[in-house]
Amino acid sequence: MLDLHKCEHCGTLTYHVFVHGHYQCNHCKKNTDPCCSGEQNMITEDSPRLSLKQKEQWRGYVSTKLQSKLRRQATEKGLTDSQADKYIQNNLKKAERRLSRRKSG
């Protein structure tokens, strides 16, 4: 389900898309959330200072970095594309389980 927002620039009721570290209007493509709104570097997902949107951005960044790392590892191991996809999915699931254990424990 898409979250509709009214764009401050064009006034259109549309959804915002996440592009290059910020959200932009899907209609006029204007930045609706500056990429530097005073966030601090080296913060973690658990930081109480993060808004829900910032936590979502942080998770996306970490997931992308992890997927890139796993893709390189799969290539170094000489895995085929289908084997590499399974390797990446399995390792992402392991990382999620470790993270959920850390949060609950």
Q: Where do runs of H (alpha helix) occur along 1-105?
A: 52-76, 81-104
3-state SS, residue 33: coil
In this structure, the answer to whether residues 26 and 62 fall within a common structural domain is no
Residue 23: domain span: 1-37
If the chain, 105 residues long, is cut into consecutive pieces of 10 residues, what is the mean pLDDT of each piece? 73 80 81 62 58 71 81 91 90 82 66
60: its two tokens: 């996306």
| Residue 47, in any domain of the structure | no
Phi-psi sector, 87: left (phi>0), alpha (psi -120 to 50), beta:
alpha
Q: Which residue has the tokens 């590499």?
A: 84
Domain tally for the chain? 2
pTM here is 0.45
| Residue 64, in any domain of the structure | yes
Q: Do residues 94 and 101 make contact, with C-beta atoms less than 8 angstroms apart?
A: no
